[in-house]
């Protein structure tokens, strides 16, 4: 029986579910900006095709089940200051600011949640019209797999599909497959990314077939993650 994987770029930099930067002792409620920067710049410097991919920084509280609604990631340094809202998966676009790197600013959360870690997450880019061509989804999956192979994560793996992750409370069938007669694809509870503690997000899994088709989403997905076998 084949084991199925979906891509998490955390494995590029660490082999544990959470990553604790140097200089941050267990129990600290902050992360060194410089260490987070080093983890995120790997993707930025990657020279292979990545036009169909996007990268975010994800926050992972060590204590599961906390109320993280409206939590903001703060950059706090001598001269570098910033506020970056987190989405429902606790991700944000990470600012690669050399000034914050040079003074090694701290990454903190807007309200106390105890110790936390951070990790980079690579997913497929979203479309503003909510229409996705299966061939383009496959190309995005291939780009993610090539990136993983470049960093020696996977060997003989292949792209078999993608996972659409939606906000909680979304409609029961948030993806429609447009191939002749429309087919609604139902969601099942799942985690947005490997290692996430919350597995109650609506997730639609679409597996690639031999026929090119179009998929329409009822709302903007939180993330689209590639699926490897």
Residue ranges per domain, the chain? Answer: 8-122, 124-228
pLDDT at 3 over 80: no
User: Which residue's entry shows tokens 């710049």?
Assistant: 41
pTM confidence score: 0.86
For a pLDDT cut of 90, what percent of the chain falls above it?
69
pLDDT the model gives residue 226: 96
165 neighbors 126 (Cβ within 8 angstroms): no
Residues 159-182, mean pLDDT to the nearest whole number: 93
Mean pLDDT of the chain: 86
pLDDT the model gives residue 58: 96
CA distances from 199 to 39, 56, 144, 154 (A): 25, 19, 23, 24
Confidence of residue 146 (pLDDT cuts 50, 70, 90): very high
pLDDT the model gives residue 154: 66
pLDDT at 24 over 90: no
Residues 99-112, mean pLDDT to the nearest whole number: 93
Task: Return the C-alpha torsion angle 171, 172, 178, 183, nearest 10.
Answer: -150
Confidence of residue 183 (pLDDT cuts 50, 70, 90): very high
Residue 118 falls in which region: left (phi positive, over 0), alpha (psi -120 to 50) or beta: beta
Residues 28-54, mean pLDDT to the nearest whole number: 94
Residues 113-118, mean pLDDT to the nearest whole number: 88
| C-alpha–C-alpha distance, residues 180 and 125, integer Å | 26
pLDDT the model gives residue 212: 93
pLDDT the model gives residue 9: 34
What letter would DSSP give residue 9? G
Confidence of residue 153 (pLDDT cuts 50, 70, 90): low
Supply angle C-alpha 158, 164, 167, rounded to 5.
Answer: 150
In 16-170, the DSSP E strands lie at 31-32, 53-61, 72-76, 81-85, 91-92, 106-109, 116-124, 131-133, 159-165
144 neighbors 229 (Cβ within 8 angstroms): no
Bridge partners (DSSP) listed for residue 214: 133, 178
Q: Please name which of 192, 176, 186 lies closest in space to residue 226, comparing C-alpha atoms.
A: 192
> Highest mean pLDDT range out of 18-22, 23-27, 150-154, 172-176?
172-176
């Amino acid at each position: 029986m084949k084991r199925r994987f979906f891509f998490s770029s955390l494995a590029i930099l660490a082999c544990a579910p959470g990553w604790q930067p140097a200089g941050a002792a267990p129990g600290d409620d902050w992360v060194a900006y410089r260490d987070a920067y080093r983890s995120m710049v790997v993707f930025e410097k990657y020279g292979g095709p990545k036009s169909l991919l996007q990268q975010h920084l994800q926050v992972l509280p060590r204590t599961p089940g906390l109320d993280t609604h409206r939590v903001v990631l703060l950059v706090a340094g001598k001269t570098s200051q910033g506020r970056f809202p987190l989405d429902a998966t606790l991700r944000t676009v990470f600012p690669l600011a050399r000034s914050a790197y040079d003074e090694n600013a701290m990454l903190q959360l807007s309200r106390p949640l105890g110790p936390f870690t951070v990790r980079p997450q690579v997913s497929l880019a979203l479309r503003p019209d909510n229409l996705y061509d299966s061939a383009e989804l496959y190309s995005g999956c291939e780009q993610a797999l090539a990136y993983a192979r470049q960093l020696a994560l996977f060997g003989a793996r292949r792209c078999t599909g993608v996972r659409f992750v939606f906000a909680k409370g979304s409609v029961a069938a948030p993806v429609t497959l447009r191939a002749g007669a429309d087919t609604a694809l139902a969601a099942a509870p799942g985690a947005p990314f490997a290692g996430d503690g919350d597995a109650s997000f609506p997730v639609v899994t679409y597996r690639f077939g031999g026929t090119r088709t179009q998929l329409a989403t009822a709302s903007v997905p939180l993330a689209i993650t590639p699926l490897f076998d």
